[in-house]
Structure 1
């Protein structure tokens, strides 16, 4: 059990490190306030961004290894500690001081998310999801995210960070739900990995990654990462409950506590979004922009 906890902590740090490294290249990449998908092609050719992707992949692997030896109720809350790692690392890379208000807001998000994760029951039958239902689900998430993508350039940077991270988190949460179905099917038949469901999960993951990197591009990394940490598991759990037949808190006390935890996480995220701390490189979004990559720029690009 102890080594599983250590793995989860190291995994949370690796995920935070990967995201903090990716933020720097996301900010410097050419494009407007919200870049197009060619933006991802630019990023995958940047050594530091790839290093961040590798660190994130190691983090995911360690997290899965920890889950193999300890319950979800123990490991998932530990993973949320990555938010504080991310806030500190981002400030270190941008050579700025970490404000006490940021740390307190980060703790609020962590406590809220830990409450949500802990209060939801984790027992469930093997999930079943027909391909037609998966396509409908993925299409709805992508359509909603597409609307957010079009609206985002008109918003101030802080609000844009939260909006894009929220839709990115929804896409990644949907990917997690699809991945769970694939993983369960693969236990019985490894060939299940090579299916249209896997292709669909990959496409939604790429779309979520585009929104996530554009959220980092705003310079409000702490708010974007906090939003991602909240929305991703909440959407994944929501799909589990509404589509895959997983369970929810049934008692009035548990429901009230879960609602309070959600409000605490939302409040902490709002504080992070309104914080004056912002990566200074994001103050000039026109950096190295090219007309082919620009969606649009607006007064909302100012800090």
Structure 2
């Protein structure tokens, strides 16, 4: 279990770096009330955004290795650490600082995650999933994603819009991970030809692209305190469900649910506290740092 944990942590760190770089780039382009492909064209001209994409690629490689070697219910919850890591990186890149309350929130997230995973003791590593499991899972996830995007577009810029896009992004990320896991096992068992001919490979590419597209709009839709908790907790929660329902992974039940709920409560409290920090707001349009405003066209 050590290998998937280490690679999942590496992916979380790379994603955290990408988050800081991409948010900085997203603040430097004109905002819009509608989804637009031109946003990505604007971002392609920003070197900081390209550096963020490189970090995303590294994170994807680490995530792929983690999913190929460990349960979805172990790998994806570790991505909860992305937010505290992102804020620590932002403190360096944006000349800010993490106050004592921020460090307490980081401790709550780390402790809560450790308690929840230790109590749940996720197990199982199914390599193939029957279509009878994929069809209902993908139908529900896709319907929820479309519904959240539609709800977000009906709302003005602000917390509700950001939360809708953040949760839609979380669904796209969790679905991407679930599909990627099968693709990685296919690559391991059948080689590159099998990998390129299995539908899950194109499925995770599609959902991954949707996640990236929605993430950029979630960044501009409203404050981080609304979008990031929805993204962080939504990804972990849905990945846990998909791991159990699709991959038949198991977690401990009975009295073990009590420490699991305690761990989840600590994680949720820490994530909400971190997202409300002034340092977190400097990564959103709510409070742009001076150097980002100066770069804007």
TM over 0.5: yes
Q: What do residues 8-41 of structure 1 show as CA deviations (whole Å, max 9, x unaligned)?
A: 6555433321211111011222222665343233
Would you say the 8 A contact 2:73–2:243 is kept in 1?
A: no
- Root-mean-square deviation (Å): 3.8
Q: Report the TM-score when normalising by structure 1.
A: 0.75
Would you say the 8 A contact 1:178–1:201 is kept in 2?
A: yes
C-alpha distance in 1 between matches for 2:198 and 2:4: 32
Taking the TM superposition and a 5 Å limit, the aligned residue runs for 1:222-233 are: 224-225=227-228, 227-233=230-236
C-alpha distance in 2 between matches for 1:253 and 1:199: 41
Which stretches in structure 1 are left out of the alignment for 5+ residues? Answer: 291-303
Taking the TM superposition and a 5 Å limit, the aligned residue runs for 1:80-229 are: 80-118=80-118, 119-130=120-131, 132-133=135-136, 135-151=138-154, 153-156=156-159, 160-190=161-191, 191-217=194-220, 220-221=223-224, 224-225=227-228, 227-229=230-232
Distance 1:192 1:69, change over 3 A: closer
Hey, what does 2:259 align to over in structure 1? 257
SS of equivalent to 1:123? coil
SS of equivalent to 1:282? coil
Would you say the 8 A contact 2:67–2:75 is kept in 1?
A: yes
Distance 1:116 1:33, change over 3 A: farther
Q: Report the TM-score when normalising by structure 2.
A: 0.76
Distance 1:245 1:283, change over 3 A: closer
Would you say the 8 A contact 1:145–1:168 is kept in 2?
A: no
Residue 140 of structure 1 deviates from its aligned partner by 2.0
Distance 1:280 1:114, change over 3 A: closer
Hey, what does 2:272 align to over in structure 1? 270
Would you say the 8 A contact 2:229–2:275 is kept in 1?
A: no
C-alpha distance in 1 between matches for 2:123 and 2:44: 36
Would you say the 8 A contact 1:16–1:82 is kept in 2?
A: yes
SS of equivalent to 2:27? helix
Greater shift after overlay, 129-138 or 67-76?
67-76
Hey, what does 1:295 align to over in structure 2? none
Hey, what does 1:36 align to over in structure 2? 36
Would you say the 8 A contact 2:16–2:85 is kept in 1?
A: yes
Which stretches in structure 2 are left out of the alignment for 5+ residues? Answer: none
Residue 43 of structure 1 deviates from its aligned partner by 2.2
The number of aligned residues is 286
C-alpha distance in 2 between matches for 1:207 and 1:71: 24
